[in-house]
């Protein structure tokens, strides 16, 4: 089994070589029951074009099942609208609280089901790997990730933390697969 820090393929209809494209659309997903972040980028420009980003917010009064339906429906709509080919999703993290881990697993499962149903290649990337790739430090704070994503994508406004994490996942996937270079070296 591949190491999580390198990105682990969860399921796919196509391999990376078959879908590599100058204008490839990547979806990043940061799953959470009350705030699942998503972000879509299109490669081919420098910087990549941000097509959409957001947070699927579920109020505390909603039941878990209502939240899971909202996550699934929203991601289905995003996939239908933008037609991404690859989804980079945040890998599992260590949780001391079993109940928290189970709830996070439910949200992640809802997101994975929607993405798999859309036929996307799914790649898991460890949270520390994303922070290392984007900020240069594996223990970086959420605000540091958001600011760097804003800078890298030349966004006018600072993205919400969960949406920023999702965009960071997409950027990390692109970077790890040499589909987007951050400040690439120039020949002189």
- Catalytically active residues, by annotation: 30, 90, 162
29, 169 Cβ separation under 8 angstroms: yes
DSSP symbol at 23: T
Q: Which helix (H) or strand (E) holds 8?
A: strand 8-11
Asked if the peptide bond before residue 9 counts as cis, ω within 30 degrees of 0, the response is: no
At 140, is the secondary structure helix, strand, or coil?
coil
- List of residues 6+ apart from 30 with CB closer than 8 A: 36, 37, 38, 89, 90, 162, 163, 165, 166, 169
Q: Residue 130's closest CA among 14, 57, 39, 35? A: 39
| Pairing between β-strand 8-11 and β-strand 35-42 as defined by DSSP bridges | unpaired
CA neighbor of 17 nearest in space, from 183, 182, 177, 187: 177
């Amino acid at each position: 089994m591949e190491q999580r820090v390198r990105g682990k393929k969860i399921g796919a209809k196509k391999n990376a070589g078959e879908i590599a494209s100058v204008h490839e659309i990547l979806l990043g997903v940061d799953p959470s029951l009350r705030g699942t972040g998503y972000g879509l980028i299109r490669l081919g420009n420098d910087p990549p074009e941000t097509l959409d980003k957001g947070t699927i917010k579920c109020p505390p009064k909603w039941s878990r099942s209502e939240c899971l339906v909202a996550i699934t429906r929203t991601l289905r709509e995003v996939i239908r609208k933008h037609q991404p080919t690859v989804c980079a999703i945040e890998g599992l993290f260590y949780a001391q609280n079993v109940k928290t881990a189970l709830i996070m697993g439910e949200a992640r499962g809802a997101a994975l089901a929607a993405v798999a149903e859309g036929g996307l290649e799914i790649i898991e990337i460890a949270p520390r790997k994303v922070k290392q790739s984007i900020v240069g430090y594996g223990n970086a704070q959420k605000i540091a990730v958001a600011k760097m994503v804003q800078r890298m994508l030349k966004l006018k406004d600072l993205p919400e933390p969960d949406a920023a994490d999702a965009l960071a996942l997409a950027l990390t996937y692109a970077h790890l697969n040499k589909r987007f270079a951050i400040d690439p070296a120039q020949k002189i």
